[in-house]
């Protein structure tokens, strides 16, 4: 990590500036700053000191640069790990970066187009329409007059991203090893999720494949428009797509001026996203207003398919069962689904989790499914998961975040919008299809094939097991981590006891020698003096060992708090 020392110092300085100096010290980064002669007694300005921790963390991520902004956007999807106040702050992070001059992009653009841009496009703006951390977007017009946008990857961004990913992985390991109280945030897992997401976002061709897959799923829905991809000029570093010229999702006032129907738009948008989630199992994971355009005829266009979620048929059924369990006051079903999602990480007592869910969903008794506030329902369910320290798989965390974002988008268009009413038909259809004869037969065949494979491999596996056992190479490993620490403590105690016995023997021996031998020094026989010095040295070592042990215990106690 020597080549990252400068970057680590920058990170430590920003964290200290925003009031996280104690964190810097506890993970050991303060030492590097002290050796570099950097001050560690800085205090945050009054304006920053008045901010709540979520806002300070968001400001720090913004100052640390694009990779950390992207990380914050991933954290915004982890509703199972962070409370709503944190999610709200992370959601404010905007992917914006200083503009790179077009001249710096031109050589790469010529290479990707296979020709000079002037020979491909009738018009091409040299000022970007948008500038993000990974790419810049330009408007252009093809020779046939078709308006398009060019998403051009920043030159040299891949090595920078890879270096940041290595640094973040190292920091996650450091924090989790030295700050046990932060284990519940599962930083290693979050960084792994971030690596997968960012790697996919760097491949613009993959983003276009996502768009075409969703466009195919909406082939029979003329009200939902996905921009067309121009593949002859699209590759890993360049994305050329049809330009949407409707009303931006954030410009709600323009909807009324254009005479568009807000209620209809809310209903169509919700139906489209719910179809992606619960019917297709492949969905736009970030359906916020910036990724939506409203077109004439109350049509809707979605853009930016870099972040998508995937749900298997079984996952979709589990989502339906969770929602029906929460809405139908069936805490047993809801508990089973949540524990199944948590998998081996489920450390909570099932009875305790069910009791908390019973207490929570009882307040919805008698409320029809179509009138429930699904966003509030899911938000509180996530709060119970955090309380019980039960994580969600990343695909489900994306789903919940997208679901809550969708409800907010629908209510911004129509204050009377009810997500539950829009979702109810999908949930009922999923449950019905799961138990349909054809679905039962398909799962039955699949399970029979799996069983046949296991039985077919059983003779070979048993033969291998017996062969290893006959050779005496069969091993059973029992790893109890607490025994290692206990062994160390026992070894230290035995060493101290041995030294204590030797010191006591030396004291007694020196006393006997003093009483029976002649003088070497006035009143001190030689052997008696030697034994006494040995006793003093052994006693000082024993005292030092006890003091060092006490200091280590205090440090571990402080780290645990």
Three-state secondary structure call for residue 325:
helix
Q: Is the pLDDT of residue 213 over 80?
A: yes
Is 266 in contact with 414 (CB distance < 8 Å)? yes
Contact by Cβ (8 Å): 354, 326? no
Query: What distance in Å separates the CA atoms of residue 476 and residue 268, rounded to the nearest whole number?
Result: 59
pLDDT at 230: 95
What is the reported pLDDT for 206? 92
Tell me the DSSP string of 140-153: EEETTS-EEEEEEE
Using the 8-state DSSP alphabet, how is residue 300 labeled?
Answer: E
Confidence of residue 301 (pLDDT cuts 50, 70, 90): very high
pLDDT at 84: 83
Residues 354-411 pLDDT 10s: 787 777 777 766 666 566 677 777 777 778 877 777 777 777 778 888 887 888 888 8
Phi, psi of 388 (to 5 degrees): -90, 0
Whole-number pLDDT of residue 296: 93
Looking at the predicted structure, is the pLDDT value of residue 527 above 70? no
- Beta carbons within 8 Å of 222's beta carbon, 6+ residues apart: 299
Asked if pLDDT for residue 220 goes beyond 50, the answer is yes
Confidence band (pLDDT; 50, 70, 90) for 36?
A: very low
How much is the pLDDT for 561? 46
Check if the beta carbon of residue 333 is closer than 8 Å to that of residue 324: yes
Over 80: is that where the pLDDT of 511 sits?
Answer: no
Backbone angles phi and psi of 376, in degrees to 5: -65, -35
Residue from 12, 31, 33, 32 nearest 23 by CA: 12
Quickly state the pLDDT bin for 23 (edges 50, 70, 90): confident
Among the residue ranges 17-31, 146-160, 292-306, 449-463, the one predicted with the least confidence is 17-31
Cβ atoms < 10 Å from Cβ of 67? 21
- For residues 151-170, average pLDDT: 87
Residue 153 scores a pLDDT above 90: yes
**3-state SS class at 22:** helix
pLDDT > 70 fraction of the chain, expressed in percent and rounded: 75
Q: Look-up: residue for tokens 């640069």?
A: 65
pLDDT of residue 472: 72
Residue 123 CB contacts under 8 Å (≥ 6 apart), including other chains: 140, 141
d(CA 14, CA 494): 47
Q: How far is CA 116 from CA 404, 464, 507, in A?
A: 45, 64, 94
Element (H, E) at 272: helix 262-274
- By the 8 A CB rule, do 338 and 353 touch? yes
Task: Tell me if residue 112 is catalytic.
Answer: no
Does residue 495 carry a pLDDT above 80?
no
**Model pTM above 0.75:** no
**pLDDT surpassing 90 at residue 214:** yes
Average pLDDT rounded to a whole number, residues 185-195: 82
pLDDT band at 2 (very low <50, low <70, confident <90, very high): very low
Would you state the pLDDT for residue 371? Answer: 65
Q: In which element (H, E) is residue 242 found?
A: strand 238-242
Q: Can you tell me which residue has the tokens 């964290």?
A: 15
For the chain, the average pLDDT equals 78
pLDDT greater than 50 at residue 560: no
User: Would you say residue 474 has pLDDT above 80?
Assistant: no
The 10s digit of each residue's pLDDT in 120-147 is 999 999 999 988 888 899 999 999 999 9
Q: Out of 80, 95, 112, 286, which one is annotated catalytic?
A: 286
Question: In which band, very low, low, confident or very high, does the pLDDT at 171 lie, cut at 50, 70 and 90?
Answer: confident
Query: Which range has the worst mean pLDDT, 33-37, 179-183, 271-275, 391-395?
Result: 33-37
DSSP three-state, residue 284 = strand
Per-residue confidence band for 553, with pLDDT thresholds at 50, 70 and 90: low
pLDDT over threshold 80, residue 106: yes
- Residues contacting 458, CB < 8 A, separation 6+: none
The DSSP bridge partners found for residue 241 are 149, 229
pLDDT at 300 over 90: yes
First to last CA, the chain: 29
CB atoms within 10 A of CB 290: 15
C-alpha to C-alpha distance for 119 and 113, rounded to whole angstroms: 10
Question: How confident is the model over 407-431, as a mean pLDDT?
Answer: 82
Check whether 33 has a pLDDT greater than 60. Answer: no
Helices 481-516 and 526-560, packing angle to 10 deg: 160
Q: Which range, of 204-208, 298-302, 365-369, averages the lowest pLDDT?
A: 365-369
Q: Tokens 């199972």 belong to which residue? A: 80
Distance CA(506)–CA(511), nearest Å, equals: 8
Of 60-69, 266-275, 545-554, the poorest mean pLDDT is in 545-554
| CB 300 within 8 Å of CB 265 | yes
Residue 39: pLDDT band (50, 70, 90) is very low
Task: Produce one character per residue of 82-106: b if its CB has 16 or more CB atoms within 10 Å, e if not.
Answer: beeebbebbbebebebeebebeebe
What per-residue confidence (pLDDT) applies to 441?
Answer: 81
Q: How many other β-carbons are positioned within 10 Å of the β-carbon of residue 444?
A: 10
């Amino acid at each position: 990590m020597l080549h990252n020392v400068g970057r680590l110092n920058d990170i430590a300085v920003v964290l200290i500036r925003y009031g996280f100096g104690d964190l810097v010290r506890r993970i050991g980064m303060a030492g590097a700053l002290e050796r570099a002669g950097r001050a560690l007694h800085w205090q945050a300005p009054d304006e920053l000191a008045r901010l709540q921790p979520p806002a300070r963390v968001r400001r720090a991520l913004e100052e640390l640069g694009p990779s950390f902004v992207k990380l914050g956007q991933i954290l915004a999807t982890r509703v199972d790990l962070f409370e709503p106040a944190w999610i709200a702050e992370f959601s404010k992070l905007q992917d914006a970066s200083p503009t790179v001059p077009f001249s710096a992009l031109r050589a790469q653009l010529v290479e990707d187009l296979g020709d000079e841009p002037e020979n491909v496009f009738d018009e091409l703006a040299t000022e970007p329409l948008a500038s993000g951390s990974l790419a810049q977007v330009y408007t252009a017009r093809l020779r046939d007059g078709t308006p398009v946008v060019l998403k051009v990857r920043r030159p040299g961004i891949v090595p920078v991203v890879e270096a940041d990913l290595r640094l973040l992985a190292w920091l996650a390991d450091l924090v989790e090893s030295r700050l046990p109280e932060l284990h519940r945030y599962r930083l290693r897992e979050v960084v792994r999720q971030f690596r997968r997401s960012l790697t996919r976002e760097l491949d613009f061709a993959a983003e276009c494949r996502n768009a075409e897959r969703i466009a195919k799923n909406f082939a029979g829905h003329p009200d939902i428009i996905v921009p067309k991809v121009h593949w002859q000029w699209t590759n890993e570093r360049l994305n050329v797509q049809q330009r949407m010229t409707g009303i931006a999702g954030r410009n709600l006032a323009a909807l009324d001026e254009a005479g568009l129907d807000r209620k209809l738009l809310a209903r169509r948008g919700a139906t489209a996203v719910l179809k992606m989630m619960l019917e297709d199992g492949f969905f736009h994971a970030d359906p916020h207003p910036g990724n939506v355009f409203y077109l004439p005829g109350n049509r809707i266009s979605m853009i930016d398919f870099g972040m998508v979620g995937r749900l298997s048929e079984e996952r979709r059924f589990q989502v339906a069962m969770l929602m029906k369990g929460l809405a139908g006051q069936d805490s047993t079903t809801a508990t089973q689904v949540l524990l199944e999602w948590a998998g081996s990480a489920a450390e909570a007592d099932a009875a305790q989790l069910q009791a908390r869910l019973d207490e929570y969903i009882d307040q919805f008794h008698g409320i029809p499914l179509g009138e429930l506030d699904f966003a509030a329902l899911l938000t509180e369910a996530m709060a119970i998961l955090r309380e019980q320290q039960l994580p969600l798989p990343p695909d489900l965390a994306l789903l919940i975040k997208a679901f809550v974002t969708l409800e907010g988008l629908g209510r911004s268009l129509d204050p009377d919008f009810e997500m539950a009413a829009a979702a109810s038909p999908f949930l009922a259809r999923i449950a019905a299809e799961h138990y349909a004869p054809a679905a039962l037969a398909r799962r039955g065949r699949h399970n029979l094939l799996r069983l046949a494979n296991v039985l077919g491999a059983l003779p070979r596996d048993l033969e291998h097991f017996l062969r290893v056992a006959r050779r005496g190479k069969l091993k059973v490993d029992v790893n109890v981590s607490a025994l290692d620490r206990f062994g160390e403590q026992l070894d230290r105690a035995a060493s101290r006891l041995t030294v204590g016995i030797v010191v006591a023997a030396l004291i007694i021996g020196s006393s006997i020698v003093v009483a029976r031998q002649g003088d070497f020094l006035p009143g001190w026989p030689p052997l008696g003096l030697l034994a006494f010095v040995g006793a003093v040295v052994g006693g000082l070592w024993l005292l030092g060992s006890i003091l060092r042990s006490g200091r280590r215990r205090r440090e571990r106690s402080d780290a645990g708090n």
